[in-house]
Structure 1
Amino acid sequence: MDSANRSPIQLTASAAEVVKQLLQGNTEAPYLRVGVKGGGCSGVAYMLGFDALMEDDDLFDISGIPVIMKKAHGMYLMGMEIDYQQGSDAAGFVFRQPAS
């Protein structure tokens, strides 16, 4: 666990606001977990959820939110931006790689 590291991800203001609302009062899973799963032909799928801190996690403070991820996932998430979008037919978190 190392909160001194620069976070590989960023949260937009709208994503941070929604996460803070969802984390309120959550004592069993007080961290936002960001990760990846899969691989192979279809690439990786991004994961987002709430969890407890584990021994092999890196810990970051992003916009006042405690964010955890497995050390090995950092290379797949480097530079990723997480946004929360709400439309007339759907709402949810979106992972995107900002243009350089």
Structure 2
Amino acid sequence: MSEVLAPVSITAKALEEIKGIMATKSIPEGYGLRIGVKGGSGCGGMGYMLGFDKPKDGDITYEVEGVNVHVEKRQTMYLLGLEVDFYEGSDARGFTFVNPSQER
């Protein structure tokens, strides 16, 4: 795989959780983490999504500590600088997304 600049960074805590999911949820061989955007409506704006998927034509694929990450090339401009983290607290737990270019 050629060296690709990663448009999205993944924290160590999020990576640990992703690897745990891949190990325990029977993610098929050849699948990787897909990071994308989903359009919002009204004031909600755009949201982010995570899932496991095979690489597709038009994807940018890169590796983060053994995990292949797939991003649709046409969505890259919306994802540049995005950081995926994992929050685990007494009130909630789940993946969080921080995009400095979208903060006001």
Name the TM-score, length of structure 1 as normaliser. Answer: 0.85
**1:32-66 CA-partner distances (Å, limit 9, x unpaired):** 00000115643211011111111121101123210
Is 1:35 aligned with 2:36? yes
Q: One-letter code of the match for 1:10?
A: S
Q: Which runs of 5+ in 1 are unaligned?
A: none
| Equivalent position of 2:13 in the other structure | 14
Distance in 2 (CA, whole Å) between partners of 1:83 and 1:44 is: 18
Shift of 1:9: 0.7
Q: Percent identity?
A: 41
Change (3 A) 1:68 1:88: same
Q: Any idea what SS the aligned residue of 2:78 has?
A: helix
Of 2-11 and 83-92, deviating more is 2-11
Distance in 2 (CA, whole Å) between partners of 1:3 and 1:62 is: 13
- Number of aligned residue pairs: 98
Q: Which runs of 5+ in 2 are unaligned?
A: none
Shift of 1:10: 0.5
Distance in 2 (CA, whole Å) between partners of 1:56 and 1:97 is: 23
Is 1:90 aligned with 2:92? yes
* Structure with the larger helix share: 2
| Equivalent position of 1:59 in the other structure | 61
Distance in 2 (CA, whole Å) between partners of 1:11 and 1:3 is: 20
Shift of 1:3: 4.7
Name the TM-score, length of structure 2 as normaliser. Answer: 0.82
Q: One-letter code of the match for 1:71?
A: K
